[in-house]
Every structure is written in structure tokens, then in C-alpha cells.
Amino acid sequence: MSIKITADSTCDLSRELIEKYNIEIVPLSIVRGDESLKDGVEIFPKDIFEYVESGAGVCKTTAVNIDEYSKCFSEALKNHEAVIHFTISSDMSACYQNALIASEDFENVYVVDSRNLSTGIGHLVLDAAIMASEGLPPREIYEKLLTMREKLEVSFVINTLKYLHKGGRCSAVAALGANLLQLKPCIEVKNGKMDVGKKYRGSFEKCIMQYVDDRLKGREDLDFRRIFVTSTDDTDKKLIEAVVARVKELADFEEILLTTAGGTISCHCGPNCLGLLFYRK
């Protein structure tokens, strides 16, 4: 059976991976002032950072609407017998609900609530594409994904709470305190929601290397198939290289994939943000 894999732009997969696995990306919209722009098509993270840093205001994300999903599924089913679509966690956006409503007008459209964000979603997307290429039926793939999503470990370290504060996701007191103490919070995805984990202190580079050790050192529950190192496009390339080298020292992953965080992560986490995303056994 021919299966088309589609995903919201929140999956943060690179262009190379999207093309390799023939994935259709459905962009969320990012509101900048009076403009509503398509994520990764009409607006990019650097545009978001420039707008916020200029003092003009904040950018916000809006879900893909039902009609946009309907058009995507309709087009996909012209050449495929089934569609498996991935959305950002239903606790973070209305994307899942909208996609689910749109899917009711079609047969063989399976909507997966990733309960995740960024390349946490990306892991599921790639695994769905691999299973589809191996000939597994869509219902079986869908059911496997619901189990696999529970094994994902997704986190990021952010350099500033400014963007989360401006977006209404943390208090002014917390943001001020973090800045004064040079705290770099680790944002974790748990039960489909973003939560604050360990708070690192010091330079961003020092905090990131400590974070990598905390996530991987001495672990016996890691699934070594694949790890994503996902960062904002302004992150120091030498730091990313140092992270990759440290990951190789600590764990024998078969694949280390580098990707850039898209508009959704950038809107909430701001510049200088890096995360490790992998499966547990």
C-alpha cells in the first residue's frame, strides 16, 4: 500500500531529510504585527529574532486550519492510498484537533498527536516513513507510533527567558531572576507539555556541555539508533561541533542528525537554544 507521510512544520526536519523520506510539510502560520506568514516559507527564525529584538513586539504562532489540512489530505490521496499525518502536541496547539476534524472527510487518514515538539516529532516522522517503506499497513504503523512516542526524551537549554516571558509562558519575576543569576533553564517535554527542568548557571557554552553530560553520561536506557542535535540557526557552529564530539564520547549512536529549530521553537525559546532529542529503550 502506498502511504504518504505528512507533518506540521513544527517537526524541524532538515530539507535533506524531508526530501530523502518524501515528506510533505504543512506550515503553521506566524503572526508578526499585522502579517500572518507561513513558517519556513514566508518567515524564518532570523526574521523572528530581528523583529523581537527591534522592540516592535512579539511573534506568535497559529495552528493550521481545518481547510488547509483538508487540502493537504485531498492532494495526498490522489496518488496514495493512505496518509499518516503528525502534529505538535495537542496540549500546545489546536493543530491536532483541526487535523482530526479534517481527516473525518477521508478514508485512511491517520492523525498522530505526537505529544511532542521539534525533532521529537521528527523521530516519529522518520520512523513512520521507514515502516511505510517496509510495507507495514497504516493502521499498524499508527499503533506502533502511539507506543514509540512515550519513549521519546526531548529537552532544550535556552539562553534567555525573554521570549517565554513575552509569550506569556513564564512570569516577569522568573525571567528577571534567571537573567540576574545567569541561569540557563532546561526546557523538557513531559506528558505533552513544556516544563522547566534543571537550571544551569554560567556561560551558554559551559551550560550546554554540562547539559550534554547530564543527558547522556552513564545512561543504560538509551536507544542508540538515532539522536537529533537541534539548535537555533544563530548557535555557534563550534559549540555544535563540540556537542557532537561529546555525544560521540558518551554514547554510540548509529546516527547523529543536526537540524535547525524552525519558527515555532524560535518564537518561544528565542536565539541561542540547543537540545538533544532521542529515544529511551
Q: Is the pLDDT of residue 179 over 60?
A: no
In this structure, are residues 10 and 262 in contact, taking their beta carbons and an 8 Å threshold?
Answer: yes
Both 55 and 176 in one domain: the answer is no
Q: Is the pLDDT of residue 87 over 60?
A: yes
Both 144 and 162 in one domain: the answer is no
DSSP code per residue over the chain: --EEEEEEGGG---HHHHHHTTPEEE--EEEETTEEEEBTTTB-HHHHHHHHHTTS--EEEEPPPHHHHHHHHHHHHHH-SEEEEEES-TTT-SHHHHHHHHHTTSSSEEEEE-SS-HHHHHHHHHHHHHHHHTT--HHHHHHHHHHHGGGEEEEEEES-SHHHHHTTSS-HHHHHHHHHTTEEEEEEEETTEEEEEEEEES-HHHHHHHHHHHHHTT-SSEEEEEEEEEE-TTS-HHHHHHHHHHHHHH---S-EEEEE--HHHHHHH-SSEEEEEEEE-
Both 144 and 189 in one domain: the answer is no
Whether pTM > 0.85 for this model: the answer is yes
CA angle 188, 194, 197 (to 5 degrees): 40
Task: Give the span between the Cα atoms of 251 and 253, in whole angstroms.
Answer: 6
- Cross-strand pairs, 111: 85
- End residue of a domain, out of 91, 114, 149: 149
What's the maximum distance between 2 C-alpha atoms anywhere in the chain? 57
- Each residue of 37-81: pLDDT tens digit? 999 999 999 999 999 989 898 899 999 999 999 999 999 999 999
Both 159 and 220 in one domain: the answer is yes
Task: Give the span between the Cα atoms of 45 and 270, in whole angstroms.
Answer: 9
pLDDT of residue 115: 97
- Each residue of 131-171: pLDDT tens digit? 999 999 999 999 999 999 999 999 999 987 776 655 444 43
Both 251 and 199 in one domain: the answer is yes
- Each residue of 101-110: pLDDT tens digit? 999 999 999 9
Both 118 and 156 in one domain: the answer is no
**CATH number of the domain to which 195 belongs:** 3.30.1180.10
Instruction: Give the phi and the psi of residue 55 in degrees, each rounded to 5.
Output: 90, 5
- In the chain, what percentage of residues exceed pLDDT 90? 80
- End residue of a domain, out of 122, 149, 176: 149
C-alpha cell at 85: 499525518
Split into its structural domains, the chain has a count of 2
Both 136 and 167 in one domain: the answer is no
pLDDT of residue 215: 98
pLDDT band at 194 (very low <50, low <70, confident <90, very high): confident
Task: Give the span between the Cα atoms of 248 and 243, in whole angstroms.
Answer: 9
Both 33 and 76 in one domain: the answer is yes
Task: Give the span between the Cα atoms of 1 and 19, in whole angstroms.
Answer: 20
Domain that holds residue 207: 151-280
Q: Is the pLDDT of residue 2 over 80?
A: yes
pLDDT of residue 165: 54
